[in-house]
Chains A and B, each alone.
Chain A
């Protein structure tokens, strides 16, 4: 499996994805200029823009790397030659997943360093009213990366049942939006405002809430931007949720992939 992780990472670097990220990361240079347009919260706006840029790049990575990785191998018949070697389908899939997840973590670390530099620069020029809590910002980036690793697991699951890239790519994008609003919809269903909705629809919405990945828990941007305290218990629960959900998705993916007829 370690070999597969190495091959995946090498493949991503060979496709010049990292160079692409670095070019996109040039947008960090514009952040202090845009943030200076703010009236009262220049540093806060720098943090907002930096975190959003990281999140956007990681989203692109998870959708396109996660959604095309398996499908590309099957389409190019690469899987025939690899699976002919003494390597189980499970190790192949998990290796691919871990390699992609590792690359997302690496990108988050590099982009995070750039974000820290930008915020440092902005706060030196326009001192912030609120203290910048660097550890909160680091945790925000870490949890963002975890969220996109979870999304990659979703993309891998969709890849195992798909014969083209449409389902993994567009299905992952749809899942990203659905997972982002799942909490809001659930709260609306619980509120008195939803009394007019039929019980069947409410039951379906409730069922989907527990079935779909909940990305709201991974979003710590408000805490990082405004220096709000982090709930330790909540973070531990989110970590537990992440590990259980990813393990579940990967076990279903490997089960489907092991039974899949590759032609």
Chain B
């Protein structure tokens, strides 16, 4: 009887304690960490016949980490994402399971846009193409990297042709044709990001694509206004403020990454954020120098 009543009292106290306890833990400051992952050779031995499972868990770990970085809850101590650790982990994942599409897809998205490691991204995609011989996505991504980032239009057309053959998609064929000539880069970036955003299921990655697409749509708006100014006045606009003041850019463009758009001396539209949260406000010197 005594023990039963003691247990009952414990349950009641536990119930009362749990409410403030869970609230405290929810608000407790934390840092999103990727943690340590052993070498691929060690993982290959330990994972035995579960290599695909271990590879998938590495990819999910990176996704969770990145998801935490994008969402940024109030209680999180924010530090820039550790892209190199993310890359290491995804490279390890494809060594364990060279067919894992999530790894290629996600590594490609941040290695190019955020870290600017185009060669590393292309090498990874080429490695994936050796295994996923049926997949049109990998040459599609490689084509975009060659055209948009590396300005290698011949190689881009080659990859887009391959993607078009594998998928029968009009988009890939269209891009293959358009990349033969250096024009309409922003439109192509928007088309690419729109295709990626539509096919994306992961909310954090989808949000990331949408954000980048919004930024490029703003760039496109500025480019249209710039062309209009040039056609009407016969000279390039001296600054973005002139376009806003003359009513050619209404409402004023807003960088979703928190930076400020500007027109460089070469006429190209750029932003102080460099299309990344980490870059917001850090590139004011380049804006001033332009």
Pairwise interchain contact B49-A221, C-beta atoms closer than 8 A? yes
Docked complex Cα distance between A176 and B200 (Å):
39
Pairwise interchain contact A39-B44, C-beta atoms closer than 8 A? no
Contacts of A55 in B (CB 8 A): 49-50
A180 and B52 contact, Cβ closer than 8 Å, known pairs A39-B102, A39-B106, A226-B99: no
- Cβ-based interface call for B148 (8 A): no
Per-residue A-contact encoding for B131-153, CB less than 8 Å = 1, 0 else: 01011010000000000000000
- Number of B interface residues in the complex (CB < 8 A): 30
Contacts of B202 in A (CB 8 A): 37-39
Contacts of A39 in B (CB 8 A): 63, 101-102, 105-106, 200-202, 205
Per-residue A-contact encoding for B55-69, CB less than 8 Å = 1, 0 else: 010011001100000
User: How far is the CB of B257 from the nearest CB of chain A, in Å?
Assistant: 22
Per-residue B-contact encoding for A30-61, CB less than 8 Å = 1, 0 else: 00001011111110110011011001100000
Pairwise interchain contact A48-B52, C-beta atoms closer than 8 A? yes
Pairwise interchain contact B49-A180, C-beta atoms closer than 8 A? yes
Per-residue A-contact encoding for B171-205, CB less than 8 Å = 1, 0 else: 00000000000000000000000000001111001
Pairwise interchain contact B49-A181, C-beta atoms closer than 8 A? no
Give chain B interface residues in 256-288, CB to chain A under 8 Å.
Answer: none
Pairwise interchain contact A41-B100, C-beta atoms closer than 8 A? yes
Q: Which of B48, B63, B101, B200 contacts A41 (CB 8 A)?
A: B101
Per-residue B-contact encoding for A205-229, CB less than 8 Å = 1, 0 else: 0000000000100110110011000
Residue of B nearest to A34 (CB): B60
Contacts of B48 in A (CB 8 A): 176-177, 180-181, 215
Docked complex Cα distance between A150 and B203 (Å):
45
Docked complex Cα distance between A156 and B64 (Å):
43
- Cβ-based interface call for B9 (8 A): no
User: How far is the CB of B210 from the nearest CB of chain A, in Å?
Assistant: 15
Pairwise interchain contact A52-B102, C-beta atoms closer than 8 A? no
Residue of B nearest to A44 (CB): B101
Docked complex Cα distance between A76 and B31 (Å):
54
Contacts of A45 in B (CB 8 A): 56, 102
- Cβ-based interface call for B97 (8 A): yes
Give chain B interface residues in 16-46, CB to chain A under 8 Å.
Answer: 44-46
Pairwise interchain contact A126-B201, C-beta atoms closer than 8 A? yes
Contacts of B137 in A (CB 8 A): 40
Docked complex Cα distance between A219 and B52 (Å):
11
User: How far is the CB of A237 from the nearest CB of chain B, in Å?
Assistant: 18
- Cβ-based interface call for A184 (8 A): yes
Contacts of A177 in B (CB 8 A): 45-46, 48
A42 and B201 contact, Cβ closer than 8 Å, known pairs A56-B50, A177-B45, A222-B52: yes
Docked complex Cα distance between A95 and B60 (Å):
45
Pairwise interchain contact A49-B97, C-beta atoms closer than 8 A? no
Contacts of A181 in B (CB 8 A): 44-45, 48
30 contacts between A and B (CB under 8 A): A34-B60, A36-B201, A37-B64, A37-B202, A38-B201, A38-B202, A39-B102, A39-B105, A39-B106, A39-B202, A40-B199, A40-B201, A48-B53, A49-B53, A52-B52, A55-B49, A55-B50, A56-B50, A129-B135, A177-B48, A180-B45, A181-B45, A184-B44, A184-B45, A218-B49, A219-B49, A222-B52, A225-B99, A226-B99, A226-B132
Interface residues of A (CB under 8 A from B): 34, 36-42, 44-45, 48-49, 51-52, 55-56, 126, 129-130, 144, 147, 176-177, 180-181, 184, 215, 218-219, 221-222, 225-226
Interface residues of B (CB under 8 A from A): 44-46, 48-53, 56, 59-60, 63-64, 97, 99-102, 105-106, 132, 134-135, 137, 199-202, 205
